[in-house]
Amino acid sequence: MIEPVFLSLVLFLILIFIVGFWSAGKLRKKSRFLQEYFLGSREIGGFILAMTMVATYGSSSSFLSGAGAAYNEGLGWALLAMTQVATGYFVLMVLGKKFAIMARKYDAVTLVDFLRLRYGSKAITLISAFSIVVFIFAAVTAQWIGGAHLIASITDLNYTSALTIFAVVVIIYVIIGGFRAVVLTDSIQGVIMVGGTLVILIGTIIAGGGVTQIMGDLTAENPNLVTPYGADGSLTAAYVSSFWILVGVGVVALPQVAVRAMSYRNSQAMHRGIIVGTAVVGFIMLGIHLVGVFARPVLPGVEEVDQVMPLIAMEVLPAWLAGVVLAAPLAAIMSTVDSLLLLISSALVKDVYLNYIRPDAEERKVKQMTYIVTSVLGVLAFAAALTPPDLLLELNLFAFGGLQSAFIWPLIFGLYWQHSNKYGALSAMIVGVGSYTLIHNVWPEPFGLHSVVLPVVLSFFAFLVANLLTLKRT
């Protein structure tokens, strides 16, 4: 089992390094370093846009833990996962052409750039950059831990050596290639994910004796597995529906997603991105989670549910094909880490260093800083992943909800409400993150909803009230 998996991993790494070096070639030719390195010079086409969007919101969490949760909870979890179909069209339609046009007008390279120029407030810029660094760093570390465990489990390397290989590959890759390399890898990964999901799904259905047979087996084991309410009936309609915010529409406010919404070439690319993105995200989400559900009668009694996907792939597919397919979750983790690393580095170099420390830095100096910051971040994340501090793991669970409650209204009102001002935006950020921190820690799942819902609502009203009170001042 080891050899074909190992071989396909090596082939995969070779392939993405070719992409990386090709992108590095582009990087040398482009005259505007920051625009190219952090945004691919806004030249991203429709298909790649769709794939990188899907890879960014899907990531490894769906492929490994999503399938695992579906294995435990049954069809209810697959229903929950389908809330993500909305991201396929919602993000690009709602941020839409306005965001793309404004970003070009402002010459913005990051989400923070956009907020800074829209509101003209130092406090907003620094709070935004700070929250991106903290939350995303935690997310990067958690992804690295996942990646290293995955490599360790399918190759027999120990955790430390797996982590080292993974870290070296990722750091070199991000440094040489930048955004363009990252989105191209996302596309390769997306294609592997679509193909892999389809193949595993078919294999699992055949191994389980057909869908009717599988549903019968599940009903016999625990009828709750075929209801929308989860294995022990605890997935309430209110709780599952609140995922419409956390992994559905709230995704517009994640900085790693928003930056992609300013990277596309033209409006045709955006149109194509919407259609392809919706198709791909829907198919992958449905497929992955059905595999998780269907795997239960085929492979009963899996304890480490994150391993369901690799185990079922090795069970139902010929060895060489399982190897190819298992490159997908690794690809997913890699591309997520790559884009997150790039995001932190953009927050530090573009949003803090260039704005407030050395606004007059020359191009050569900026380039140097970017490479240094990216490498240092990579090494720090590596060190953190070796012996992960508890605080970091806690922050990771917290990260996406935190970023959403911080950014959603400053971004949306900033785009669509002409009279929105910095007082509104700042209040929304403080109330959003503050109430999320509080609720997450002392009152999880208020009214049966996920803890992100209430802060998003509170942040909305904070924006409105503060903005209306200060309307005359601006």
For 1, counting Cβ atoms within 10 Å of its Cβ (0-12 exposed, 13-18 middle, 19+ buried), the class is: exposed
DSSP letter for 355, please.
I
Q: Would you count residue 234 as binding another protein (CB under 8 A)?
A: no
With contact defined as beta carbons under 8 Å apart, do 238 and 450 qualify? Answer: no
Task: Between 73 and 338, name the residue whose CB sits nearer to another protein.
Answer: 73
Enumerate residues 6+ apart whose C-beta is below 8 A from 187. Answer: 47, 48, 51, 52, 55
Structure tokens at 157: 């390397």
Which residues pair with residue 120 across a beta bridge? Answer: none
Rounded CA separation 339/333 (Å): 10
Stretch that binds another protein, among 99-107, 129-137, 345-353, 423-431 (CB under 8 A): 99-107
267 binds another protein (CB under 8 A): yes
Three-state DSSP state, 264: strand
Which residue, chain included where needed, has tokens 């880490």? Answer: 337
Q: Which stretch binds another protein (CB under 8 A): 57-65, 272-280, 315-323, 372-380?
A: 272-280
Draw the binding track, 411-430, toward another protein (x: CB under 8 A; -: no contact).
----xx-x--xx--------
Q: How many CA atoms lie within 13 A of 421 on its CB side?
A: 12
Shorter beta-carbon distance to another protein: residue 279 or 380: 279
The one among 11, 237, 319, 471 contacting another protein by CB under 8 A: 237
Structure tokens at 229: 């309410």
The yes or no reply on residue 130 touching another protein (CB under 8 A) is: no
Q: Is residue 47 a contact point for another protein (CB under 8 A)? A: no
> Which CB, 275 or 393, lies closer to another protein?
275
Helix (H, G, I), strand (E, B) or coil at 157: coil
Residue type, 67: A
Q: Judged by CB, which is closer to another protein: 106, or 159? A: 106
Residue selected from 98, 363, 446, 448 as contacting another protein according to rule CB under 8 A: 98
Site for another protein in 68-87 (CB under 8 A): 75, 78-79, 82-83, 85-86
Does 60 contact another protein by CB under 8 A?
no
Residue 241 is a binding residue for another protein (CB under 8 A): yes
Residues 41/32, Cβ–Cβ less than 8 Å: yes
One-letter amino acid at 424 equals: G
248 binds another protein (CB under 8 A): yes
Is residue 2 part of the contact set for another protein (CB under 8 A)? no
- Looking at 25, 168, 234, 271, which residue binds another protein (CB under 8 A)? 271
Q: Which residue's CB is nearer to another protein, number 7 or number 93? A: 93
Q: Does 228 bind another protein (CB under 8 A)?
A: yes
93 binds another protein (CB under 8 A): yes
By beta-carbon proximity to another protein, the closer residue of 233 and 389 is: 233
Task: Please pick, from the candidates 22, 89, 130, 371, the single residue that binds another protein as defined by CB under 8 A.
Answer: 89
CB atoms within 10 A of CB 172: 14
Question: Are 186 and 339 spatial neighbours (Cβ–Cβ below 8 Å)?
Answer: yes
Binding of another protein by 249 (CB under 8 A): yes
Count of residues of this chain found to bind another protein when the rule CB under 8 A is applied: 61
Region from 9-17, 114-122, 184-192, 463-471 binding another protein, contact rule CB under 8 A: 114-122
3-state secondary structure of 96: helix
Q: Is position 250 an interface residue for another protein (rule: CB under 8 A)?
A: no
Torsion, CA 247, CA 251, CA 255, CA 261, rounded to 10: 130
Contact 344, 137 (CB under 8 A): yes
Contact track, another protein, 169-208, x by CB under 8 A: ----------------------------------------
Measured from the Cβ of residue 234, the count of other Cβ atoms closer than 10 Å reads 11
* Residues near 14 by beta carbon (within 8 Å), at least 6 away in sequence: none
Per-position x/- string for 284-323, each x denoting binding to another protein as judged by CB under 8 A, each - no binding = --x-------------------------------------
Measured from the CB atom, the residue of 233 and 318 that comes closer to another protein is 233
Dist CA 278 CA 129 (whole Å):
30
Q: For residue 133, give Cα distances in angstroms to 114, 146, 349, 395.
A: 17, 20, 11, 12
Q: Where along the sequence are the contacts to another protein (CB under 8 A)?
A: 75, 78-79, 82-83, 85-86, 88-90, 92-98, 100-102, 104-106, 117-120, 210-215, 219, 223, 226-229, 237, 241, 244, 248-249, 266-268, 271, 274-275, 278-279, 282-283, 286, 415-416, 418, 421-422, 474
